[in-house]
Chains A and B, each alone.
Chain A
Amino acid sequence: DADVTQTPRNRITKTGKRIMLECSQTKGHDRMYWYRQDPGLGLRLIYYSFDVKDINKGEISDGYSVSRQAQAKFSLSLESAIPNQTALYFCATSDPPGRGSTDTQYFGPGTRLTVL
């Protein structure tokens, strides 16, 4: 089984709808992240969480919100989807450096979201 899973894998929705993307991990990592990727723009960080009680905005958090329900779960919500939120969304996890790890990020398979 995959260590980092995302649901759904693909989603088509309409402008104005509320969408939730979910991420679960079995790696036991404290840190979780949400990124979006657009063609030619690379990965951009939306939100990240260093533990269950910690939530931080990334570089493009407007229009998004997150919830860290447990160490293993981190969900991303689009309260009112708009077409320019059409993108490939990745969840990732890592352990902080200094605990036998180097902050290597492990990614889920991605969610392809289309907003019409």
Chain B
Amino acid sequence: RKEVEQDPGPFNVPEGATVAFNCTYSNSASQSFFWYRQDCRKEPKLLMSVYSSGNEDGRFTAQLNRASQYISLLIRDSKLSDSATYLCVVNGGTSYDKVIFGPGTSLSVIP
């Protein structure tokens, strides 16, 4: 089993749609969780950290389920500018471990 797995995608959705991305991780000791966004041929950038209680930033909501080792990202009212690849990122479990990137899920928002 891969350490971090994501929906394979791609997701093609119309403007205004709600879309959800799922991610699972294998290391139950992981402590930090993130969603990154990567535009085509650009560097990944932090979209949001994911907290145990769940967190929201505008149209974006992230959820964490430690028992199921599952992370989600919900995007409401999709915009054309949301088109990108979304990377799920999990740390290795201790401060000495590196973070692990998932393979990413591609989103295209269509007019």
Contacts and interface: CB of A to CB of B under 8 A. Distances in A.
Contact of A105 (B95, B99, B102, B104): B99
Interface of B, secondary structure class, is: loop
A97 B43 contact: no
B91 A97 contact: yes
A74 interface: no
Contacts of A97: 31-32, 91, 95
Interface in B39-77: 41-46, 49
Contacts of B44: 43, 90, 105, 107
B86 to A, nearest CB: 12
A50 B32 CA distance: 17
B76 to A, nearest CB: 24
Contacts of A98: 95
B103 A102 contact: no
A104 B46 contact: yes
B24 to A, nearest CB: 15
Q: Give the bracket for the number of chain A residues in contact with chain B.
A: 20 to 34
Interface in A27-56: 33, 35, 41-43, 45, 48, 50, 56
A56 to B, nearest CB: 8
B23 interface: no
B1 interface: no
B43 A110 contact: yes
A108 B42 CA distance: 9
B21 interface: no
Contacts of B31: 97
